[in-house]
Amino acid sequence: MNRAVHRLGRSSTRFFIYPEPPFDFERSAGLHSRFKNSLPDVFENAFYRRVLRVGKKLVLVSVSSKGTIEKPKLLVEVTPQLGKSSENRMLRKLLHSLFASSFDFNGFYGLAKRDRVMKMVAENVKGLRPVPPPTIFEAVIIAITEQQISLNAAIAIRSRLIEKYGDRVMFDGDIFYAFPTPESLAKAQPGEMKKVGLSIIKARYINEFSKKVASGEFDPEGLREMDDEKVLAELTKIQGIGRWSAEYVLVRGMGRMNSLPANDLGIQRAVSDAYFKGKRISSGDVRKILMKFAPYSGIAAFYLMYYLFWEPKL
């Protein structure tokens, strides 16, 4: 299992991107660092780093803020330099989807003002945005790993999966991991995958799904063209993807912010803490509250959870 470490060329490019204000880079990109070891994303010393795949090539991107919440400006450093202009276009597009999605946050803030709780939450963490995984394939694997067990457990297991099956890249003496490709997880043996802490059944789900993607039988990126209902229908055909996982992929992986997994225990806890004094509530109660923020109910859920569970305490 000792794979080679990819050596990146020494060349690098730098450029700026300008997300729509307001954008809080620290909170948005730093969310990963609330968890102990949250590969493949690394946020350290105000730098967000991650290995991205551009075509067949691996690049390490380092992103840091050179602006403010109201005047966002991000410095992106890419190593190694990409040769072709088509590659550079792909990379820009990826970075745009990570940090500068065209989502209408002011629409959400407008609605939030009309609700006492959400107004307070939105004012406190203004500029927070979800940073989605770069591929839908990754979002599906994230969903499977996060089924049933706690986020902490899931992230620990997923990080070990990434260490075991993801390509490695060396930079400045540190090792970074790319998220495993469908091909590498398709080749993996479920019995081996289990060793990172996955249940055998999840190992098989991931393995089977990866085979379908690697062979071209299933094209996750094609889902982006479909409407919400169609996406849910396509995803739930996959073994191991139920209602919750499909909705999770939709909102977390595809930015379909009008949808949400109302059964999600985390969302239920957040809505309960914020609106029902912590008493046990149903998915119907969750819907009733978050519907007020349609078509931004997914964002509303994210803001509540962030504020209640992940906002760093002083």
Return residues touching DNA (CB under 7 A). Answer: 36, 146-153, 156-157, 194, 197-202, 239-246, 248, 251-252, 261, 263-267, 269, 305
Report the candidate in 153, 182, 154 with the shortest Cα–Cα distance to residue 166: 182
List for the chain the helix, strand, coil content (%; round to 5).
Answer: 50, 15, 35
**CA–CA dist 112, 120 (Å, integer):** 9
Collapsing DSSP to helix, strand or coil, 282 comes out as coil
**CA–CA dist 249, 268 (Å, integer):** 18
CB-nearer residue toward DNA: 36 or 277:
36
CB-nearer residue toward DNA: 79 or 145:
145
CB-nearer residue toward DNA: 56 or 280:
280
The burial class, CB within 10 Å (0-12 / 13-18 / 19+), for 212 is middle
CB-nearer residue toward DNA: 201 or 294:
201
CB of 247 to DNA, least distance (A): 8
CB of 298 to DNA, least distance (A): 9
* Cα–chain center distance at 226: 20
**CA–CA dist 299, 251 (Å, integer):** 9
CB of 130 to DNA, least distance (A): 9
CB-nearer residue toward DNA: 118 or 198:
198
CB of 268 to DNA, least distance (A): 8
CB of 21 to DNA, least distance (A): 25
